[in-house]
Structure 1
């Protein structure tokens, strides 16, 4: 119910919306009377579908065509409606948290009736990218029935009912387009009672993807299994971080290693991105081997250094 109500809310300014309203008859309500009626029906409403809600509010419009249009097209009325609805006799145990998604991913208790109203399984989607800081709107295609959203440490978090594989693909596709190569999205799946656990998994994967300097795209735990196992073993993570630590004192060598990782270990591409000759890159890689004891020109060595860099970054 709460999700359906929230979907209908928009940013229309109430005072501006009512400017110029005129009663069409002596019995049609004024704007002030109408708002009072909205609040009153909200106190009595027991429906749980958007259609019920709209029908109820249309009754409050009492045939005034301008008010009818406002009910159908404007979400600003719901602020008044919900104020009344929350005063009904259900009591605190039935109230829906203002930010339900935040409560769920934090593992805080919510009323059982609210939990029972949720989908049985969800996609937990964590989105991070430069578009987040530019006020770019979330794709409208994601605002489907039952979707919950919140922000956590700057990331967008979506809880999308896990209906089928087609919807999963559609969600990730829309988000990939939205990010436009400028960020990451991580997906985990859990039942409604394990959403906090799923969010922790998605958060860990996001940290590993960012620390590993992965390209923009969609990720899940299956993409970082080795790194995930490492950070869950404190002793191994400490030993790996110790391998890379001496390199931090050599800014040029650190930059060279990260450029090699960014180039997917392609040395020609790394040299080009650093604007240096290939022989200069090779010399720097030899220096990295000398400082760390791991040869970044070998497959095993560069994988170890990459994992060590990640372990150091997420500590």
Structure 2
């Protein structure tokens, strides 16, 4: 190593800091001192302090400018990532039970009405649903359904919201709801979703439903073995399209033979013949209370297995 051209440095001299290194070391010490005093949180404020620490040295000021731009780019990227992660689909994260940052969870309302909506025409009614749910509600889609997390402002707010949401359907859709604290929203979503599956599989008319409206179906189909056995009862009927459609119309008409015959555009005696054939295939008499209940539960179980 050489200092002045042609003159060798001693080992001790070679270890001494150069003037350039002295300036950088002094600058770093001033930066550390500024950092100990700084109480701000804005990048621009930090850049101003670092520029001040450069004390007019052009080379150090250039380092500050380059470093500050890199710092701001890095922090902007972090902020964009955080914002995207949080706002990408917050309702979807709640529905799926994904863990949320503590500050995001704390920012949620303490209690929500969870509404799972099946629209007869998916494109229709969305604007009305959003308006009724309010700007603080969270919306996502799951399995062809609209999912809403609506802040429950207080006692009585739930039923009123359910009534108004149901009115948005105009008799052409289904609404399943549950209510939960923010720590148990995924449980409420799962409950409302299962209620919706039971309602649709059971050919229930358009309207609003909660788990209390499907307690029998819920209890029967929750057990996997029972659900499998019930599906086996009804499955042979799938080979008879006309009989299946007849049973579906019979259930949909709330077991009224006159209504079912009208909906199928057939004579009452033709309906009676088909119901007898359904009994022959399944072993359950649709005209009896027990048989009708068994066949309805079997249809729901079969639909759940298929879905």
TM-score normalised to structure 1 length: 0.69
Q: Does 1:103 align with 2:93?
A: yes
Equivalent pair of 1:97/1:103 in contact (CA under 8 Å): no
Which stretches in structure 1 are left out of the alignment for 5+ residues? 1-42, 45-83
Q: Does 1:132 align with 2:122?
A: yes
Give the match's secondary structure for 1:265. Answer: coil
- Give 1:141 shift: 3.8
1:104-126 residue CA offsets vs partner (Å, 9 max, x unmatched) = 11111111011011111111101
Give the match's secondary structure for 1:185. Answer: strand
Give the match's secondary structure for 2:122. Answer: helix
Give the match's secondary structure for 2:266. Answer: coil
Give the match's secondary structure for 1:133. Answer: coil
Aligned equivalent of 1:75: none
Deviates further, 132-141 or 190-199: 132-141
Give the match's secondary structure for 1:157. Answer: strand
- Give 1:166 shift: 3.0
The structure-2 alpha-carbon separation of the partners of 1:206 and 1:89, relative to structure 1 and needing over 3 Å to count, comes to closer
1:149-190 residue CA offsets vs partner (Å, 9 max, x unmatched) = 112222111101122343222222222221111110110111
Q: CA RMSD in A?
A: 2.4
- Cα distance in 1 for residues equivalent to 2:278 and 2:133: 49
The structure-2 alpha-carbon separation of the partners of 1:139 and 1:233, relative to structure 1 and needing over 3 Å to count, comes to closer
Give the match's secondary structure for 2:128. Answer: coil
Which stretches in structure 2 are left out of the alignment for 5+ residues? 1-41, 44-72
1:146-225 matches, cutoff 5 A? 146-225=136-215
Give the match's secondary structure for 2:114. Answer: strand
The structure-2 alpha-carbon separation of the partners of 1:135 and 1:98, relative to structure 1 and needing over 3 Å to count, comes to same
Give the match's secondary structure for 1:189. Answer: strand
Aligned equivalent of 1:228: 218
Aligned equivalent of 2:251: 261
Aligned equivalent of 2:23: none
- Cα distance in 1 for residues equivalent to 2:102 and 2:82: 8
- Cα distance in 2 for residues equivalent to 1:164 and 1:212: 33
Aligned equivalent of 1:33: none
1:251-290 matches, cutoff 5 A? 251-290=241-280
- Give 1:135 shift: 7.0
Q: Quick check: which has more Rg, 1 or 2?
A: 2
Aligned residues: 233
The structure-2 alpha-carbon separation of the partners of 1:165 and 1:266, relative to structure 1 and needing over 3 Å to count, comes to farther
- Give 1:289 shift: 0.7
Q: Does 1:295 align with 2:252?
A: no
